[in-house]
Amino acid sequence: MSVIFYIGSILKNMGLIVFIGSSIFVFYLAFKDTLKRGLFCFIPSYHLYYSLEKLRHPWKKNINRVLWGGFWAVLIGYIFMSINSFSGIVSAVLNGSISGSYFALMAFAIILIFRTTDLVNFAQADMASYSVFFVLTLLGEHFITASGLPETGAFMSIGIAIVLALLLSGAFGIFTETVFIKPVQKQHPISQIILTLGLGMFYTNLAAGQLYWDQEEHRLPEIIGGNLKLSEGIALPIDGILSLFVTIVIMLIIFALFKYTLLGIALRATAQSQNTSRLMGINVNMVFIMSWAISVMLGGLAGIFFLAGKTVNLYSTANLMLKGFSAAILGGFSSLPGAVLGGFLLGIIDYVLGLITNIKEVLSFLIILVVLIVKPEGLLAKSKTVKKV
């Protein structure tokens, strides 16, 4: 057995002792409070609720720290015991970070529109599918369309096709904001959200109706292809490394743009107050257009990286949208840095759980749920406080 396995075993056993001990103490305090609360604490969800909200004790914060410390120690211990080597842990973190780069891009795209327009774009996945199919079209992929167009050869290299597809995606975002979103900006937020849901179905069904694409599966080529072997047991896909590098560079550029350029100041001001921004002379409509263009481009890039080298159809980005949305909630729906952090954390959690269980989807969302119960506003979102005078 390796050292990592023994460390995991110690963490798991100590975590169990701490978790069970603190849970018994919470039971004791609940029964001491009332018999009804004590009995209800046998229900795990109420036990959690009681320890976080209803517990009245001078040691409440310390009790919860010990309780959750034991829980995370057990979870990390199981992971260490399953991976069983240092290289396995490094490989899991690196590969998970690659997956996280896809989720971070999609989460950032979702939050960017939300921060500037107070609108959640539920058509983000469908618009990302368009970006992927723009690439396929530029590469000369054959589609079974109503016009019966013949198969053509590749028009260009995949790198140039991706750049042009992203430019088309930006134009697609501008078109969507100008034609569909702008006319309903003053309507109730629920009406706008329903509109984005309808737009997603409209765009997908329009493309699937063989007007210009089809519902068949197509293979999106790898961008570079191959694997990079760092050491024994650690091999990373080169396309994944490219995705991770591009994601980090894009995030740094966007954060610099937000902090040091007039466009970034306008975006931040609009996110704070649209009416005040208008009074200060900021062209809010142009800010909305730019945020939609950037968001659709980022979501499209996430879809291209996520699906590179895979068989795709018009519905292949749905899972990416779900993971991006989850990452945005995990990091804090009002925080752009939180979207990045949430994406990378979700990627690592998702990958690691995939190594130790076949129900990683359920467990990853369960972990997110537990985190949000403890910190409902997300990991990096600032909770609003009201100062009484």
Distance CA 91, CA 351 (A): 10
Of residues 383 and 220, more confidence is placed in 220
For the stretch 108-151, pLDDT in tens is 999 999 988 888 999 999 999 999 999 998 988 877 665 554 45
Distance CA 90, CA 92 (A): 5
For the stretch 255-269, pLDDT in tens is 888 888 887 888 778
What tokens appear for 219 in the block? 């293979």
Model pLDDT, residue 145: 62
Predicted structure pTM score: 0.84
Between CA 37 and CA 41, with CA 40 as vertex, the angle to 5 degrees is: 90
Residue pair 291/182 in contact (Cβ under 8 Å)? The answer is no
| Lowest mean per-residue pLDDT among 97-101, 210-214, 259-263 | 210-214
Indicate whether 170 pLDDT > 80: yes
323 φ, ψ (degrees, to nearest 5): -70, -40
Please report where in the chains the tokens 């036990």 appear, as a residue: 47
Distance CA 363, CA 356 (A): 11
Model pLDDT, residue 150: 45
